[in-house]
Every structure is written in C-alpha cells, then in structure tokens.
Chains A and B, each alone.
Chain A
C-alpha cells in the first residue's frame, strides 16, 4: 500500500483479517500512525489534545503484522517489473499494489510566513505555533468555516472571504446559508461574499490580502479552497485518470493496470445518486473503498456500491448537516443518466421551526438532497432512503396509511418531515 490515510489502513487491515499469511507493506509519507484529518480544526481550537487526533498507534500496525516504512515517499512505480522505488534509494517488489495517496490542499501563489493550508497534522501544528491577531480565511466551505471558528476561539479576529454568493456553497441553498452566515456574524466573524482573492501582500511574511473589492490587512492567511487528488505518482506510472482529476477505477477499485488498485481521496468513484464519477473526498468513502480494494486484492470479488457526500459542521453549537445535492448543484447534472427526472419536476419541502430548519430537494419521485440545521436525530432514515433511490410517492402513501405504518414502525420518525 502506498499511503497511510484511512483508505490505506482499512485496506491493510481488511487484507490481514482475511489472510494472515501474506506480507503486507505500507509506505507512509508522514511519520505518524493513522490520524484523523477531519478533527484538526478541533485540535487547533484546543478542544482536543494532540494525542486525541490519532486513531491508531504504531503498535497497532505491529499487532496487525503490517510492515510500515515511516516517513518515506514512493518516488516511482514500475508496473512492468512490479517494483516501487523509494526516495532513499531502496526498492520494494509487489504482487498487488493499492494506491491510497490521498489528496492535498489547493493553494495559489507561494507559501510564505503566515500563510497556511490545512490538510496534515504538520499544517495544524504550524497553525498552532503561529501567534497573530488578524486572520483571513479564503474559502467558506466546511473546512474554511471550521478553521474560522477555531481561530476565533484562539483569540484571532477572523474574516472569511468567499468567491461564491453564500457560505457552504456546495452544501446549502440560499436560505440555510444565510442562517449560517448570521450565526457566524453574531459571534464576530466577518463574512465577505462574492469576492475573489487576487493578491497576497508582503514579501517574506503576510501583510494583507487584496480582493476584488478591497484590501484587508492581516498577519495570518489560510487557504481553504478545496482539495485535489494526489495523482502524480499514478500518472507517471501510466495509470489512466478521470476527467475530474482523480484516478479512474472500476467497481472493484482496480485501475487500468491489472494488479494495481486505488482507494481513498485519490480516486474518483461513482456517486450513488447520479451514478456519475465525482470526487467525494470523505472519510467513510475512503474507509469503504479500502475494504473493497483489500478484498478484491485477495481475489474475493466485491463491488463498491458508490460514494455519498455529507456535510457536518458544528457552528457554535448549532449543528449544520446535509447530504446529496443542493438545488443549485443539481443544475450541473441536468442531462445525467442517473438523474431522477427533469429539473422542471423539482419540488422543495422546506420548514422552519424553533430555531431548526430543514429543506428537502425532490426531483421527480426521488429525494436528491437535504439540508438540516439543528436536526440530527431523525435524518438518517431520509439519507438511507435517498441512497436506495426509494420513490417519494410510495413513501408518502405509506406515511399516510396508518395500518401499513404500524407494520413498518421505523418510518414513524420521518413523518413530521412530510406533514
């Protein structure tokens, strides 16, 4: 395995669970055991300690019998002779290879003092060491919002600059996004929308940011504009990439070269809702992909059902959740085969009550997305119905019929959503 994220680790542990004879080697470019990148904002804000970020320890690898090369980068793969060349000059033979190289944070321009991105633990450590007063976060996606909140808790004055017209642009529609924006502004985070970041000021350390509308002085600048699959290694080995920049794999997570599998953030897998390839860079997808890749590696044919996206941000105690697509995002999938129908059939169920809010996006007969603020308990059922592509008419019939509902009592909790 190349890569020590959740994809690589879950592939390795799956292989070990099924077969205790074969040799499993893992090349980890970071010298840390498996840790969770998703909780790094909590680590920056001081909510959890550095020790709590780690999911596994090195002894877990030893107990599993996985030989790990810590802190070494794979430089080159030769698929013909089945060899991997490491950056310290050694080479390793393989029969089967699993690429789990993950993703890296996007940024533009050069990194200088006071300018950060957040993807690895090292980035988080650097942000923690920084002592500044005024921070600007570029990008108001889930990572941008979480870092903004974390920095505010560290005593910074925070401004979030977003190019699009709302916060959490891929997860929420206008009304929900406005609620989140007012929650942020209430606690003192300045949110600037519709502004493109143009230039970073300062020669060796950050002094400010020029956007399309104004100039902001700051001493700390964070890029949170998204992630990009790390595919240089795969590209040089001759592995075919998809049109969205990830490694293209079939349903067994195998690449175009036999015996080389890929999983995790570096692949683009089919989305469960549309059936189109889409880079859904989430922990649970990488976890499942790793399991599937591990099983197929050993010749146990398993299909990967597809990826799902999820939004889960805690904004000052308000739980913002979502899944599927927003109304705005659906327009990109107008002519996709897996789409539930024409967009002219779009209907919205929206309700606001006692500080909680929900919005369901329904196309034709199928639910294609949902957004929820301060409702976490009963939405799992909706999610599971959505990814199973269940018809909404059938569902509302069921919810209206008392006798049918008595036989399927687990549908009761979602009744209020359709009332």
Chain B
C-alpha cells in the first residue's frame, strides 16, 4: 500500500459532491444513503465543521477479523479493504465493529459496503473542488504533514514572541 486517501476537514465546505459521485460510481444513482464516504455536519455553521468520514483502510482491521465469512480482505494492489459481495451474508457484525463508521450497510443489496478506493483511482478526490480530499503517496503525505507541523509551530512562535 503506497497511496492513501487524505482528508483535510478544514477545507471541506460540505457540498456533498463526493457522496454523490461515490454512489453514482458504485450503484449508478445519486443517493446519500448509498455513499461510502459521508460528510458529518455538526451543529452550527463554519467551514471547519464539515468532516468527511471514510474508511481508513486500517493495517490491522477489526472488520475483517469479525467477519464470519472472511468476506473482507485486503486488495494487495491498492491497499484497500474490499467486501466481496457474493460472500457477505449481511449479518452487520463489521458495521458494529468499525470504530469510525467506515463500514456501512447497503440496504438494497443487503450486504456491507465500504470504500474500496475505486480500484486505486478514487472518484471523490477528482470531484472535490476545494482540496479537502487528496489521494497522496505515503511519502508525499508525510512531507505535507511535516510542513503543516512546522507551519503550526511558526504560528505559535509568532504568538509567543510578539
């Protein structure tokens, strides 16, 4: 796994484009209930209170452990945990187990659904106009995080020494 879906919640405006395109790509209809990614809107406005929530593709996934059919497995190429829909019996144990709400229940197919990184080319990233979602190489992501940390530090120093 060398690329990851990175979320920058401070840039999200809550426009729901990612949810629409997610359900459109996977189920051929724009339906918020069938979207693998979900924007959580907390009470009140403000740009930093829309948070896109999506599966984090854990390295030690609990959803895969609890699955009694072994239906959730890692795609070695993309690094995504994928639900095999023909194996899933719809018992919802993985839905309970995921702490981040990354696994959802598909109410039409009656099986679990989760982000599969669109086979290594996530559609939600492409439609996000504000840069809230990025699909980055791990090293690139690390560098960005470091820069952001340094930025925060300089801002803090400014406050202290002013």
Known contacts A52-B87, A383-B96; is A412 also within 8 Å of B66 by CB? no
Known contacts A287-B65, A412-B51; is A56 also within 8 Å of B96 by CB? no
- B68 at interface, CB cutoff 8 A: yes
Give the residues from 50 to 93 in chain A that come closer than 8 angstroms, CB to CB, to chain B. 52, 55-56
Taking a contact as CB atoms under 8 Å apart, the answer to whether A55 and B99 are in contact is no
Give the residues from 60 to 90 in chain B that come closer than 8 angstroms, CB to CB, to chain A. 62, 65-66, 68-70, 87, 89
Taking a contact as CB atoms under 8 Å apart, the answer to whether B66 and A284 are in contact is yes
Taking a contact as CB atoms under 8 Å apart, the answer to whether A410 and B66 are in contact is no
Residue on A with the closest CB to B64?
A287
Taking a contact as CB atoms under 8 Å apart, the answer to whether A39 and B68 are in contact is yes
Contacts of A378 in B (CB 8 A): 101
Give the residues from 31 to 68 in chain B that come closer than 8 angstroms, CB to CB, to chain A. 40, 42, 48-49, 51, 53, 62, 65-66, 68
Q: How far is the CB of B39 from chain A (nearest CB, A)?
A: 11
Taking a contact as CB atoms under 8 Å apart, the answer to whether B49 and A38 are in contact is no
Give the contacting residue for B92; candidates A52, A376, A410; CB below 8 A: A376
Contacts of A380 in B (CB 8 A): 95-101
Q: How far is the CB of B100 from chain A (nearest CB, A)?
A: 6
Give the residues from 32 to 48 in chain A that come closer than 8 angstroms, CB to CB, to chain B. 36, 38-39, 42, 47-48
Contacts of A47 in B (CB 8 A): 89
- B105 at interface, CB cutoff 8 A: yes
- A384 at interface, CB cutoff 8 A: yes
Taking a contact as CB atoms under 8 Å apart, the answer to whether B92 and A312 are in contact is yes
Taking a contact as CB atoms under 8 Å apart, the answer to whether B91 and A310 are in contact is no
Q: How far is the CB of B59 from chain A (nearest CB, A)?
A: 14
Q: In the complex the two chains form, what is the Cα distance from A184 to B100 in whole Å?
A: 32
Known contacts A52-B87, A283-B68, A310-B66; is A409 also within 8 Å of B51 by CB? yes
Contacts of A410 in B (CB 8 A): 53, 99-100
Contact code string A280-324 (vs B, CB < 8 Å = 1, else 0): 000110011000000000000000000000101010000101010
Residue on A with the closest CB to B10?
A406
Give the number of residue pairs across the A-B interface with Cβ within 8 Å: 84
Q: How far is the CB of B99 from chain A (nearest CB, A)?
A: 4
* B: number of interface residues (CB 8 Å): 27
Taking a contact as CB atoms under 8 Å apart, the answer to whether A406 and B49 are in contact is yes
Taking a contact as CB atoms under 8 Å apart, the answer to whether B66 and A283 are in contact is yes
Contact code string A110-152 (vs B, CB < 8 Å = 1, else 0): 0000000000000000000000000000000000000000000
- A18 at interface, CB cutoff 8 A: no
- B14 at interface, CB cutoff 8 A: no
- B9 at interface, CB cutoff 8 A: yes
- A344 at interface, CB cutoff 8 A: no
Known contacts A283-B68, A284-B65, A413-B40; is A38 also within 8 Å of B101 by CB? no
- B154 at interface, CB cutoff 8 A: no
- B104 at interface, CB cutoff 8 A: yes
Q: In the complex the two chains form, what is the Cα distance from A405 to B62 in whole Å?
A: 25
Taking a contact as CB atoms under 8 Å apart, the answer to whether B40 and A412 are in contact is yes
Contacts of B89 in A (CB 8 A): 39, 42, 47-48, 52
- A381 at interface, CB cutoff 8 A: yes
Residue on A with the closest CB to B105?
A376
Q: How far is the CB of A64 from chain B (nearest CB, A)?
A: 13
Q: How far is the CB of B146 from chain A (nearest CB, A)?
A: 18
Contacts of A405 in B (CB 8 A): 42
Name 11 extra pairs, CB < 8 A, besides A314-B92, A380-B96.
Answer: A39-B68, A48-B89, A52-B87, A283-B66, A376-B96, A380-B98, A381-B100, A383-B99, A406-B48, A406-B49, A410-B100
Q: List 21 A-B contacts (CB under 8 A).
A: A36-B69, A38-B68, A39-B68, A39-B91, A42-B89, A48-B89, A55-B68, A55-B69, A55-B70, A283-B68, A284-B62, A310-B97, A312-B91, A377-B105, A380-B95, A380-B98, A380-B100, A383-B97, A384-B99, A409-B42, A413-B101
